[in-house]
Chain A
Amino acid sequence: MHMDVAPNQVVRLVQLGEWEKALQSRAIWECVGCQTCSTRCPKEVDCAGVMDALREASLARGMAAADRYLVVAFQKIFLENIRRNGWLNELELIGQFKADVVLHTGRIPFLFKDAGLAPQLGKRKKLHLIPGKARDRGVVDRIFERCASERKA
């Protein structure tokens, strides 16, 4: 199983006040956000929302599970990317993500993972070398500023 604690156990940890166990779990970063849990829950617990909240808190406290680094880094870099551009610049995202992972984990081969896809994407005209930036990116930057997470004690 991918998750170290099952989703219902994550909710249980929160109920018991076992914050560290919940925030340090791998489970919250394995979660793909498919919303099936919240849809099915007979008690109408928004389990997917709990996962979101734990992810936000986990990152803010620097407690994200170390072996899920790739997932955490990807989301962070994605957000930085759209903050800068107003929308996503895929090449920049991929480049930064790979560089970040290699720097953090030292796994140089990761730089070249799926490198073969690049020409395939290029052939299919799916690579945008000069994608442009959104006109409203100034507003986006200010929105990010206003939504900056406040670190709670």
Chain B
Amino acid sequence: MSRIGVFTCWCGENIARTVDVDEVAKRAAELPGVRCSLNYKYMCADPGQAIVREKIVSEKLDGVVVASCSPHMHLKTFRKAAQAAGLNPYLVEMANIREQCSWVHHDRAQATAKAIEIIRLAVEKARNDAALQPIRVPVTRRALVIGGGVAGIQAALDIADAGHEVVMVEREPSIGGKMAGLSETFPTLDCSQCILTPRMVEVGQHPRIKLYSYSEVEKVEGFVGNFKITIRQKARYVDISKCTGCGECWNICPLKRNLSEFDYGMGMRPAIYIPFPQAVPARPVIDKSQCAKLIRNGCGLCEKKCKAEAINFKDEDRFVEEAVGAVVVATGYKLYSIAKSQPKTTLSGYGEYGYGKYKDVIDSLQFERLVSASGPTGGVLKRPSDGAIPKSVVFISCVGSRDNAKGLPYCSKICCMYTAKHTMLYKHKVHDGQAHVFYMDIRAGGKGYEEFVRRAIEQDGAQYYRGRVSKITQEGGRLVVRGADTLAGMPVTIEADMVVLAAAMRPADGIEELAQKLNIGYDEFGFLLESHPKLRPVETNTAGIFIAGACHSPKDIPEAVAQASAAASKVQVMLAADELTREPEIAAINEQTCAACFTCVRTCPYHAIERAELRTPRGAFIKNTARVNPGLCMGCGTCVSVCPSKSADLLGFTDQQVYAEVESLA
């Protein structure tokens, strides 16, 4: 026999103004199974909760219905209250008579009648509730960080400093990401490497961080708290445990003229190389597509020169397994490809800017390398075609971004700021140079950002034109840039020595494959999807996997760092104990009636259902069955709807409960 308590809340005026709470409490008392019914002004407040607890004890209630706001607001509150009074928290139901009643209706009589019906449903559900226990999942108290850029570094250090082991996987030969290649950062104009490399060294030396550089995530198995990651360590052909980083090998390498990836093609590197002097680990790698020894068994000079005998031409990719409990994805970004050839058919390039045709039309990261003190020109701004110092540079914003016709409608957020920065860096190096910026809007919303842009214009003399560039051609040795200034309503033609294009930010290559391995969502542009854009910006819909940095959306360094720390704190919550608890409102399969058709296995979006076997205690095979993994199931109910034998059900929302609710209305 049920003993349900119904507690109707006034919610101040929010409910009581439209719903007659006295009438509701009176009618609720008459519902079958209801032991007591009352109303109170603020059920969620301390006194209100105290009433609930008191009634549970004094009336020996075996179920509670709180008729108030949405369960999103206060279900946890009332479950805690019930638990404190000794009642299983999953015997608490909420009847939403605010968002679904008092807030959307005006007629008092009708709203009151509807509130009573809503409560009737909730009471029927409560009568069919079963006590459930939270699911305990063991946790491997280690974390994986994918990506060694500034976001990955921040997350790894936060988690490792909190006392947990971190495995970091970075696919380039060194960590540091895009930030390691920048010259100076806005709005402080700090030298980028100067502020980053200490962090990089910390990661390299941290006792609790295991760094797999020049490696990629090959496979991901398992579930929250219990991931098994297979990592592919790509062949470096250098044994980094023996190598001392002395540099004899890359100095002696005769094949010196390969385009440097780190310099985005603005400089050269040998076939055996270290990407930049401050690399972590400071060990070289051999590019197997360029090394004479690896291609046709020639040369081999580096091996001969190496005193530490660290060169190993027989190296091969190796696979390693690591067990972790949580994953942070921080794979960063790459720039949109401006030229005609594109990685996707939904994108197109800008033929009119001459990128790829004219050597002195470059993109923003290439410009960073040309002005960087550690760059291919030693920080002297020499233009690529003839090494001349440009006296007139045009900077074009929104190349690829905000362009529906090219396939990327979004704003890349950082370009307005770094373009202003570029004009300042340019002016500081070329005192008699003139910077011209073609922009559509100026987005400078961060702390000190607007003032920074004004400095570029007012102190460093950058000339800004509000309008786009229609075409860039080459006449004589100069680049003729034809654009417009819509504020003055006139065309503007600039003869420039160099043009810098602020290309859009896109997620790094391979993001879609990685997301599929991790079973997390991504949008049409490849950016990883967060659980909730406002309230859950670092979690994904897959338990245990978090995201940080530019792989989520275009952002600057302060935001990437903040997001990384946020992700790290979520990981720390997860790794705080040896066990995780999960809500028990998950699917359960009646293994006796299950026909093992495995439709549910194929349909489950979280891959939470496994194929299992029922065996006798002695091990004899009885039958196949589907089995829900309580660590992964998110309680979406898809399996329940597809199961042909009705063997799958949702705990806390069973078929029986739902039918009971529906029938109670008849």
Contacts and interface: CB of A to CB of B under 8 A. Distances in A.
Direct contact of A and B (CB under 8 A): yes
Interface of A: 1, 5-6, 8-9, 36, 40-44
A13 B398 CA distance: 24
Interface residues of B, number: 14
A43 B406 CA distance: 9
The 7 A-B pairs of least Cβ separation, nearest first, read A42-B403, A44-B405, A42-B405, A44-B404, A6-B489, A43-B404, A8-B486
Given A1-B490, A41-B405, 15 more contacts: A1-B491, A5-B489, A6-B484, A6-B489, A6-B490, A6-B491, A8-B484, A9-B486, A36-B470, A40-B352, A40-B405, A40-B470, A42-B403, A42-B468, A43-B405
A42 B491 contact: no
Interface string B455-468: 00000000000001
Contacts of B490: 1, 6
Interface string B390-408: 0000000010001111100
A8 B468 CA distance: 11
Contacts of A41: 405
Contacts of B406: 42
B336 to A, nearest CB: 13
Contacts of A1: 490-491
Nearest to B406: A42
A43 B402 CA distance: 8
A77 B379 CA distance: 65
A9 B470 contact: no
Contacts of B491: 1, 6
Nearest to A41: B405
A106 to B, nearest CB: 33
B405 A9 contact: no
B402 A42 contact: yes
Interface of B: 352, 398, 402-406, 468, 470, 484, 486, 489-491
A60 to B, nearest CB: 28
Contact of B489 (A9, A36, A40, A43): A9
24 contacts: A1-B490, A1-B491, A5-B489, A6-B484, A6-B489, A6-B490, A6-B491, A8-B486, A9-B489, A36-B470, A40-B352, A40-B405, A40-B470, A41-B405, A42-B398, A42-B403, A42-B404, A42-B405, A42-B406, A42-B468, A43-B404, A43-B405, A44-B404, A44-B405
A36 B351 CA distance: 13
A42 B490 CA distance: 19
B398 to A, nearest CB: 8
Nearest to B403: A42
A50 to B, nearest CB: 16
A73 B484 CA distance: 31
A41 B352 CA distance: 12
A43 B403 CA distance: 6
A126 B489 CA distance: 43
Contacts of B486: 6, 8-9
Contacts of B352: 40
A40 B469 CA distance: 10
B446 to A, nearest CB: 25
Most buried by B among A1, A36, A40, A41: A40
Contacts of B402: 42
Contacts of A5: 489
Nearest to B490: A1
Contacts of A36: 470
Nearest to A6: B489
A88 to B, nearest CB: 33
A112 B340 CA distance: 50
Contacts of A6: 484, 486, 489-491
Contacts of B405: 40-44
A57 B352 CA distance: 33
Contacts of A44: 404-405
Contacts of B403: 42
Nearest to A8: B486
